[in-house]
């Protein structure tokens, strides 16, 4: 069967280099199913792989896209847990920017109820990061104050959603009032615009202290780093936890050990995928609990935009330019967001 796929043929800083190819897809292997993809999440690792800057470097040519959803159109002879017509969500390191993919059954789950293809395709990576950070690494308790930085992005918005589910008071920060209005509408108790007139980040410390009666936040979720981390060290409660998720600011901060000592705080690194690799049983439990929350409608992924496969680069550019609120997707096979 011939399918269309948007593939990277050579490494370049310019993500415009994706080419829409027509290729032949084989029949699924005995333990695989073939999925007609309807939606594929756009993630930062997709951009980094195209640029050759990610730790995993796929063989060329490759189609980006590691989270996707769609319908099963063929099953291998040994498959008993899925059937043709099932709506499923799957993941792999690459391959999602395509009209179809073959995938082993153990990398699939049924899409719960009438959940949209777009929401199904975008929950697993962002929400797993937030789930591991808040429940396993951060031990967030009901009634505590959670400060979420980068709250308008995918992993930040997931943390706001999960933080409210876990019973925390959530303060969300971001760079524009328009994006923060979306976060506020989705449950954040307070929002703070931390952008400065000179384009730098910071400026939230006093507001956080005011909102917490001078105590500071109990748990701080930081995918930004840089000056945001530095300011966080000055508005954290005694015995609080700072969760280092990433460094989207491009700056790796240095923790002031005197603050750590005086306030008896913990600075905790979070790599959700590594949890599962080092402790497969714990990783499986986290994924199952998260999937149950999705099934029960207790978490709600936010998707702001969709782009047809032939315009996949526009989705990547929207993410690269930090215009995405929550997540965006690439769509195909007649599905439009």
Residues in CB range of 322: below 8 A, 6 or more apart? 153, 175
- Give the SS3 label for residue 29: coil
Tokens of 188: 């954040």
Task: Give 255-279 as a DSSP string.
Answer: --HHHHHHHT-EEEE--HHHHHHH-
* Domains of the chain, residue spans: 2-123+303-331, 125-274
Task: Specify which residues 8 forms β-bridges with.
Answer: 62
CATH, range 2-123+303-331: 3.90.180.10
User: Any residues with CB less than 8 A from the CB of 8 and at least 6 apart, and which?
Assistant: 17, 18, 19, 49, 50, 60, 61, 62, 63, 64
pLDDT tier, 301 (very low <50, low <70, confident <90, very high otherwise): very high
pLDDT tens figures, 172-192: 999 899 999 999 999 999 999
Angle, CA 220 vertex, CA 219 and CA 222 arms, to 5° = 150
**Is the pTM for the entire model greater than 0.85?**
yes
pLDDT in tens, 211-259: 999 999 999 999 998 889 999 999 999 999 999 998 877 778 888 898 8
What CATH homologous superfamily does 125-274 map to? Medium-chain alcohol dehydrogenases, catalytic domain (3.90.180.10)
How far from chain centre, in Å, is Cα 221?
14
CA distance 169 to 118: 28
Task: Dump pLDDT digits (tens) for 13-37.
Answer: 989 889 999 999 999 999 999 999 9
Q: What is the pLDDT of residues 268-277, one digit of tens each?
A: 999 988 888 8
Is the predicted pLDDT of residue 202 greater than 80, yes or no?
A: no
217 by DSSP, 3-state: which? strand
């Amino acid at each position: 069967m011939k399918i269309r796929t948007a593939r990277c043929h050579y490494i370049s800083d310019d993500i415009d280099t994706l080419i829409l190819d027509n290729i032949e897809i084989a029949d699924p292997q005995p333990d695989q199913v073939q999925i007609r993809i309807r939606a594929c999440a756009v993630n930062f690792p997709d951009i980094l792989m195209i640029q050759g800057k990610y730790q995993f470097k796929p063989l060329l040519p490759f189609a980006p896209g590691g989270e996707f959803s769609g319908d099963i159109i063929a099953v291998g002879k040994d498959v008993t847990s899925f059937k043709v017509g099932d709506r499923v969500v799957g993941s792999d390191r690459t391959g999602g920017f395509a009209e179809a993919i073959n995938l082993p059954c153990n990398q699939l789950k049924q899409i719960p109820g009438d959940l949209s293809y777009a929401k199904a395709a975008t929950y697993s990576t962002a929400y797993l990061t937030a789930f591991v950070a808040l429940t396993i690494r951060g031990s967030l308790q009901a009634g505590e104050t959670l400060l979420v930085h980068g709250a308008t992005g995918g992993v930040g918005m997931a943390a706001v959603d999960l933080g409210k589910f876990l019973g925390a008071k959530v303060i969300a920060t971001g760079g524009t009032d328009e994006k923060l209005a979306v976060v506020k509408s989705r449950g954040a108790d307070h929002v703070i615009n931390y952008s400065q007139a000179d384009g730098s980040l910071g400026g939230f410390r006093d507001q956080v202290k005011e909102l917490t009666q001078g105590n500071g936040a109990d748990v701080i979720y930081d995918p930004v780093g840089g000056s945001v981390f530095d300011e966080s060290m000055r508005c954290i409660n005694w015995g609080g936890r700072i969760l280092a998720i990433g460094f989207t600011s491009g700056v790796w901060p240095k923790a002031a050990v005197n603050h750590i000592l005086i306030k008896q705080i913990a600075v905790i690194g979070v790599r959700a995928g590594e949890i599962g690799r080092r402790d497969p049983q714990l990783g499986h439990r986290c994924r199952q609990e998260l999937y149950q929350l999705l099934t029960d409608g207790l978490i709600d992924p936010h998707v702001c935009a969709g782009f047809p496969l032939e315009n996949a680069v526009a989705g990547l550019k929207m993410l690269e330019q930090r215009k995405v609120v929550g997540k965006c997707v690439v769509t195909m096979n007649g599905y439009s967001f």
